[in-house]
Structure 1
Amino acid sequence: MSNSPGLYILLVSVHGLIRSNNLELGRDADTGGQTRYVLELAQALAANPQVERVDLVTRLVNDPKVSSDYAQPLELVSDKARIIRLNCGPRRYLRKEVLWPHLDNFADELLKHLRQIGKLPHVIHTHYADAGYVGCRVAGWLGIPLVHTGHSLGRVKQQRLLEQGTKPETIENNFHISTRIEAEETTLASAALIIASTHQEVTQQYGIYDHYQPQRMVVIPPGVALEHFYPVPKNWQEPPIYEQLKRFLIDPQKPIIMALSRAAMRKNVSTLVKAYGEDPQLRHLANLVLVLGNRDDITTMESGPRQVLTEIFQLIDRYDLYGYVAYPKHHSADEVPELYRLIAKTRGVFINPALTEPFGLTLIEATACGVPIIATSDGGPRDILAACNNGMLIDPLDIKQIQDALRTALTNTEQWQSWSNNGLNSVKENFSWDSHVEKYLEHVLQLPQRRVQSLLSPLPKAPATDLPDWKIPSTNRLPTADRFLVCEIDNTLLGDQEALQKLIEQLRNKGNNIGMGIATGRNLQSSLQMLEEWRFPMPDLLIVSAGSEIYYGPQIVTDTNWLRHISYHWQAEAVRKAMEELPGVVAQPPEVQGKFKLSYFVDEAKPISFKEIMRHLRRHRLHVKGIYSHNMYLDLLPIRASKGDAIRYCALKWGLPIKRFLVAGASGNDESMLAGNTLGVVVSNYSQEIEKLRGYPQIYFAQGQYAWGILEALDRYDFFGTLSYTESEMMAV
């Protein structure tokens, strides 16, 4: 890697299959334009002299059904760019909709990776909602600016599926759409910069979100790799894939109408086949080539692509299009530019008939090869055609309009040549990666750089006793502990005197390598009173007020850096006023309120839910995290605060891997610290809202109540020993 000074940019794209060569585009719904976008962005950024290093972080997949390339933890892309693959849930390849329960794990793995390399990025740039969820957490913990690109948006998808008649419960079951939308709302609230591809995306798509803030959004169209996508050269030879196409066609020399996309309903390829099949003149003028990803046996494909391909094959049979339509089973990413040049050579046309198109990367690829385009009048194609003037927009549901546009492109020779020339002359100025990176860096360099300074040194390789001097009293075990027990006070640590005494004895007998902490919704004074009342020793770490305050014992030293960190976008008074507008919500007594925690009672009998409360606050442009527990208690915190966030902040600050924290809880306000790579235990007297965590591989539901459950977990995880049980369990997941 280069040692020159410059920006270190971390790109995060969790799902799909990403590698530096031979991208498997169109393999499924998760291997489309986004995977190419993030790879080419990484390459283009690394080529800029202002950038020292680019890491593209994605999920490690160790699955015999996919290439072993995706199981490699590190892949060099160039001398300044790398692909980093981190564990995230099961080893097998998973579609993005089922990755949500594993994203906390991915966030912890990313923190571990950054700590190991001993270098923090200047900016974290996330792609899609799942990476946005991860980025909000990691960038928030580190105080690093977050940049986000949505690629597609959940609220838009939900709207269009509802318009098509899909039932809400079907949408939720298939796409986990509410989880996705909530992640997008949080990302919009947290990101310092949102990069959109089109103006329509900013106004009409992001505009329907509660946290829509156009002043933090910028339109930077994606680039095209001009070294791969270029016009037909003089010495051009027919590509090998042409031989595959000839197998389908009676007259392969005719001009080509080509559509290239995933086999997805949204791509609307069946309407194109109908338009072609119902027009004898079009069949006479040109062949139709459909490049719809890769397949071996459609009966083994997922239901969506299988349904689309089955319908297309039925239409080909209905209109008797054999000899006129080619639909190859396989193609590689390297063959795509040659396919575009084949269209240009035959003086054909590229068409994108999608129902919706956030951008349309294939359109600028075809344009760069000198091919006129016909595209849906939605989203990106509008901006592309406005900039390049190299084709026509169509209503994707109007068959006659599609037919007329195709005939114009195929029969008007002067118009075809004009469109081809216009596109070639405009694409370099408007859609090159060089121009994209120039605008990108201009905005990124203006972002505030806020860091947790103590994280800048590498992870110490010496024993724990050689950790740097953090100016904590010697009786505090944070500098020397190599594992930590952190417990909620109420209904977890305290409640059974006999069990508590046994726990205290075990902790006293295990030496200075065991740290003890509490994480509670109580304020500091109340927490100390309860601990004193039960004769529990002073903890080394006190996370109080639901994670909005951190103290180190025994002198109760405030972590002021944490307070500065979570103050981001916190408007306590505005939150209070907004909450006064809601029925059935009453502020708790003043003594339980905090500077960074507002607490309320919620009356279940009133017609307002937790989700409705949070949406009400978002509509007021308030950046708030809500924690709801016991079906009646609501804590409102800054967007960066929670028990889980506080624990991870401390883990980073003190150089202790998060998987060496055993956390114990019993209610919904403990969820943030139980999820992820911490070792978790839920004591048996837990509140019902935490039942949803059952089945998570790193969360143990104990048989015993209160501290009895904690004692169980100490044995189960071999917490005082080698933690060997935990390590083996993690490897098996």
Structure 2
Amino acid sequence: MQEGLYIVLISIHGLIRGDRLELGRDADTGGQTRYVVELAKTLAAHPRVAQVDLVTRLIPDAKVSPDYAQPIERIGDRARIVRLACGPRRYLRKEVLWPYLDVFADELLRYLRQSGRMPDVIHSHYADAGYVGCRVAGWLGVPLVHTGHSLGRVKRQRLLAQGSKPDAIEEQFHLTTRIEAEEQTLASAALIIASTHQEVEEQYRLYDQYDPARMAVIPPGVDTSRFYPAPVPADLPFRQELRRFLVEPEKPFIFCLSRPVPRKNVAALLNVYGSDRFLQARANLVLVLGNRTDISKMEASPRQVLMELFLLVDRYDLYGKVAYPKTHRSDEVPDLYRLAAQQRGVFINPALTEPFGLTLIEAAACGLPILATADGGPQEIIRHCRNGLLFDALDLEAIRSALHQAFQSDSQWQTWADNGLKGVQAHYSWHSHVEMYLQALDQLAEKSVLPVLSVQRQPLQCQTHPLPTTLTRNRLLTLERLLISDIDHTLIGDRAALERLLTLLQRRPEMGFGVATGRHLEMTLEVLHEWGVPIPDVLITSVGSEIYYGPHLVPDTSWQQHISYRWEPQRVRDTLADVAGLRLQPPENQRSHKISYNVDTTVLPSITPVLRLLRQQKLHCRPIFSHNQFLDILPLRASKGDALRYLALKWGYPLQKLLVAGDSGNDEQMLTGNTLAVVVGNHSPELEKLRDRPHIYFAKGHYAQGILEAIEHYGF
């Protein structure tokens, strides 16, 4: 085995490749894509690191470069981009990726098994990768590190302050789903890496799972081999492109580089410039807003932003004073900063929210002073570098005042330029970033924050009685495929259909059989005996919080250890003791890793207040509501779906060799993803939302007849 760390970075959305990044192509291909590529390369160059895999989405779409359809792209001796298929072939914006992320998680798990090495850490970037990361890291029992890049609750606040309507925000950005994923990730992560102290102290504080003890501030780095001041004199090639737009191209210019999205607030900048004769006389305005070919074919959000900007140029008659080139290459960006600095201009970032602001340190590294929104990263960049001014991005007069001050004094401009160069070297190098990163990982190892889940088979032990001196060989070692079924209302309910299913299983010795149920073990055995079902090869009981292997019902103690992480059952019971509409089920339904309630929906029509209450108490648990009347509280790592994937990983089953059957909400996690799945005809209404998901067959037959129908449907 290679010595050194194996680090898996997950960054799912956008267009990611090793060089020639299409920055600004759309709302999803911005600073995050550059950050993760640079992080992968720099980590892999460190002597303590053996391998870095940057995992993203495979995109075999003719409308984008074929680079994004390569499963593996080498970006260094010990670094590569790994692309995994999920969802349709076409390129998708991040807001519509959510239904496909369970498949992405399963594909990542499959890739890691094929790679033959367990990662030492999984590091997720943004909420979508956090959703995947907390699942895969939980299945494997390795530490999860997470970087948010931007946060849903902060974005919602800013959009509301700007006047956007809540329904319109939700329809476009799906922030409810995103925030829920962020809460789950914050609950699961061993370490949150933030770019600034403001991000930790103000932005993450908005979350129920806020825990500053698990957060570290590690500012991003800048590649000073690309971003540096221009030699004097220098002939910079992009100058000719700007001359197409500007009557007086030699004047200083106000330079804005961003994606054409509402959050970047470029229209406010154009309103300020268009209404200010002094600024128009003193400087040109250069807007580099990604790449475009045909605006009419762009997505709605960037199309709307660009159309608004062009109308403002026309309203204020700014022709000859504003440049807005259609295209630029990523390798031309450093020259744009250098050209702005050579002409003694300024760089401006008027974004409504800015978690860090990578463009600000790039500009500073090229000797260009900066003006920026007083939000997030710019506050600390200006404090460290002392190379510009902050302003309130919602206040047009504040933007105007900052621009006026920037052009008042040549000596001030030179002081800001010199300070920026020194500040970047002192605070924002990739070398210091990686050293701080590895120190943070060392602290995780010292704390032993996560129990390690071994994929090797351990000696089996039984918690309730000694094992017999000889064990019947567990069929899981030799089976080719496995049927896993819920019991109530799925496996049982029709005796004749059940008998046909059992006969089929008996005739196919290569097919194993397991159950996954909300019942505890004793009740499971009782109902199986009552219906004449032999002890299955595997039993997942108590809504996924317990696993037993037949025929001797040997408990999987590693699974119990794995899901015990931060499980506080008494605090859960105390927290929910006085919630109207919740009543604890009888003691026989309670387990060490499952707390079960009956729900009176006439008193408690929604469990959302329960979820919020549990989060506010920082409880690491998973509520599962089913049949519109039962609420089970499990450890955060436990569910039928998680237990199923743990089982597949431990025993080496490809998920496509598993057929799972269910009928209610507590089956949802095991039905989604890369398993073959069937929802029986008598299912609960809460599963209707899965009807269009891939790999989920909705049977017409009820109970076991629906399972038989699915076996035939899949050729299983």
TM tier, shorter chain? over 0.9
The aligned counterpart of 1:114 is 112
Inter-CA distance 568–656: structure 2 relative to 1 (3 Å threshold): same
Determine if contact 2:386/2:420 at 8 Å carries over to the other structure: yes
Inter-CA distance 168–201: structure 2 relative to 1 (3 Å threshold): same
1:177: how far off? Answer: 1.5
1:199: how far off? Answer: 1.3
Q: From 331, 340, 343, give the equivalent of 1:343.
A: 340
Helix, strand or coil at the partner of 2:407: helix
The aligned counterpart of 1:185 is 183
Percentage identity across paired residues of the two chains: 61
Determine if contact 2:598/2:631 at 8 Å carries over to the other structure: yes
The aligned counterpart of 2:455 is 454
Q: For residues 282 and 457 of structure 2, what CA distance do their matches in structure 1 show?
A: 65
The aligned counterpart of 2:173 is 175
Structure 1 residue runs without a partner (length 5+): 458-470, 720-733
Spell out, residue by residue over 1:573-599, the C-alpha distance to the aligned partner (whole angstroms, 9 max, x if none). Answer: 010111102111000010011000000
1:403: how far off? Answer: 3.0
Q: Write the letter of the residue equivalent to 1:600.
A: Y
Q: For residues 210 and 257 of structure 1, what CA distance do their matches in structure 2 show?
A: 41
Q: For residues 270 and 167 of structure 1, what CA distance do their matches in structure 2 show?
A: 19
Determine if contact 1:492/1:683 at 8 Å carries over to the other structure: yes
1:196: how far off? Answer: 0.7
Q: For residues 68 and 356 of structure 1, what CA distance do their matches in structure 2 show?
A: 33
Determine if contact 1:118/1:456 at 8 Å carries over to the other structure: no
Inter-CA distance 472–129: structure 2 relative to 1 (3 Å threshold): farther
The aligned counterpart of 1:282 is 279
Q: From 602, 606, 612, give the equivalent of 1:609.
A: 606
Spell out, residue by residue over 1:669-690, the C-alpha distance to the aligned partner (whole angstroms, 9 max, x if none). Answer: 0001000001000000111111
Taking the TM superposition and a 5 Å limit, the aligned residue runs for 1:3-402 are 5-234=3-232, 236-239=234-237, 241-402=238-399
1:473: how far off? Answer: 4.2
Q: For residues 273 and 165 of structure 1, what CA distance do their matches in structure 2 show?
A: 19
Q: For residues 322 and 613 of structure 2, what CA distance do their matches in structure 1 show?
A: 53
Q: Write the letter of the residue equivalent to 1:73.
A: P
* Poorly superposed stretches of 4+, deviation over 6 Å: none
1:559 matches 2:567: no
Spell out, residue by residue over 1:372-431, the C-alpha distance to the aligned partner (whole angstroms, 9 max, x if none). Answer: 001111111100000000011122233333333223323411111100110101101201
- Between 24-33 and 605-614, report the one with greater CA deviation: 605-614
Determine if contact 1:544/1:550 at 8 Å carries over to the other structure: yes
Q: Count how many residue pairs are aligned between Structure 1 and Structure 2.
A: 702
1:630 matches 2:620: no
1:608: how far off? Answer: 5.2
Determine if contact 1:55/1:82 at 8 Å carries over to the other structure: yes
1:243: how far off? Answer: 1.4
1:537 matches 2:534: yes
Helix, strand or coil at the partner of 1:716: helix
Q: TM-score, normalised on structure 2?
A: 0.96
Q: Write the letter of the residue equivalent to 1:671.
A: E
1:310: how far off? Answer: 1.2
Q: For residues 268 and 660 of structure 1, what CA distance do their matches in structure 2 show?
A: 50
Inter-CA distance 41–580: structure 2 relative to 1 (3 Å threshold): same
Q: For residues 409 and 177 of structure 1, what CA distance do their matches in structure 2 show?
A: 37
Q: For residues 476 and 130 of structure 1, what CA distance do their matches in structure 2 show?
A: 38
Q: For residues 258 and 554 of structure 2, what CA distance do their matches in structure 1 show?
A: 58
Q: For residues 456 and 12 of structure 1, what CA distance do their matches in structure 2 show?
A: 28
Q: Write the letter of the residue equivalent to 1:309.
A: L
Q: From 697, 702, 726, give the equivalent of 2:699.
A: 702
Q: For residues 617 and 310 of structure 2, what CA distance do their matches in structure 1 show?
A: 51
Determine if contact 2:451/2:561 at 8 Å carries over to the other structure: no
The aligned counterpart of 1:442 is 439
1:282: how far off? Answer: 1.6
The aligned counterpart of 1:722 is none
1:176: how far off? Answer: 1.8
The aligned counterpart of 1:730 is none
Q: TM-score, normalised on structure 1?
A: 0.94
Q: Write the letter of the residue equivalent to 1:337.
A: P
Determine if contact 1:475/1:554 at 8 Å carries over to the other structure: no
Q: For residues 593 and 694 of structure 1, what CA distance do their matches in structure 2 show?
A: 32
1:606: how far off? Answer: 0.9
Helix, strand or coil at the partner of 1:485: strand
Q: For residues 400 and 485 of structure 2, what CA distance do their matches in structure 1 show?
A: 68
Determine if contact 1:256/1:348 at 8 Å carries over to the other structure: yes
Q: From 674, 677, 691, give the equivalent of 2:674.
A: 677
Helix, strand or coil at the partner of 1:20: coil
1:521 matches 2:518: yes
1:546 matches 2:547: no
1:612: how far off? Answer: 1.3
Structure 2 residue runs without a partner (length 5+): 459-468
Helix, strand or coil at the partner of 2:273: helix
Helix, strand or coil at the partner of 1:599: strand
The aligned counterpart of 1:464 is none
Q: For residues 242 and 278 of structure 1, what CA distance do their matches in structure 2 show?
A: 26
Helix, strand or coil at the partner of 2:524: helix
Determine if contact 1:347/1:410 at 8 Å carries over to the other structure: no
Helix, strand or coil at the partner of 1:578: helix
Q: For residues 546 and 386 of structure 2, what CA distance do their matches in structure 1 show?
A: 57
Q: Write the letter of the residue equivalent to 1:565.
A: H
Taking the TM superposition and a 5 Å limit, the aligned residue runs for 1:489-504 are 489-504=487-502
Q: From 415, 422, 426, give the equivalent of 2:412.
A: 415
